[in-house]
Structure 1
């Protein structure tokens, strides 16, 4: 009983002084984990969405050794190989998700796509870059926009 009272007092004392609050690093780590979970959910939704649109997805989360980042999905849409970037938003802040595919990201995706084509010796294949934009508000079905040929292709 004495132990329980002592622990209770220590917990109350720490709480009153903010000692039980997460540190900034812990908060940032949790935010990073939540962003990653949102991204994985968005990519999984996009995978099934693209399959329903007739894509044959051949690769998820492709990474090239010399590049930062990854290509979320790679799949055939008829005779065209599509490199697909998936962007998911759960809040309206920051504008539409597709806006996040900026010039730097496009260059990164192009370099990874070239690596993928070279490693698989796909040479003269037709390809393009698509963007799937998802707006997933809690408690509602996601709004999906598929932008085929969103930027420069081969």
Structure 2
């Protein structure tokens, strides 16, 4: 059994330690908001927060996540409420196909936790490892800036 905290709740999973965290979340805990994109850490669709840091879950072994706090897109906002980033994503109409968006939002959450008022260059640098086939990068940047402003007011 591997113990970890997922979205604030203690969890124990009886899965192989070398299984990628991505599959433990999706198959073991039925948290399907974290997406499989490429499996080789090239796209970022599987991004989650591990102890507050954005990580590509396809490359994190379940055993390496033991004892850590994992936040997925399902646990980002308060129960029944959107996180400022999720609200900004909706407001800016970022998503087209939407497949990459949970990973984009989680990468942005990691950025804002580290840099609460990022410049355009800081946003671009942080987000460059997450790909969007629809090319909504300008809207992603606008949503992150909007969320940063909203979060300042909290």
When the two structures are superposed, what TM-score results if normalisation uses the length of structure 2? Answer: 0.28
When the two structures are superposed, what TM-score results if normalisation uses the length of structure 1? Answer: 0.28
Which one has the bigger strand percentage? 1
> Could you say which structure has the greater relative contact order, defined with CA pairs below 8 angstroms and 6 or more residues apart?
2
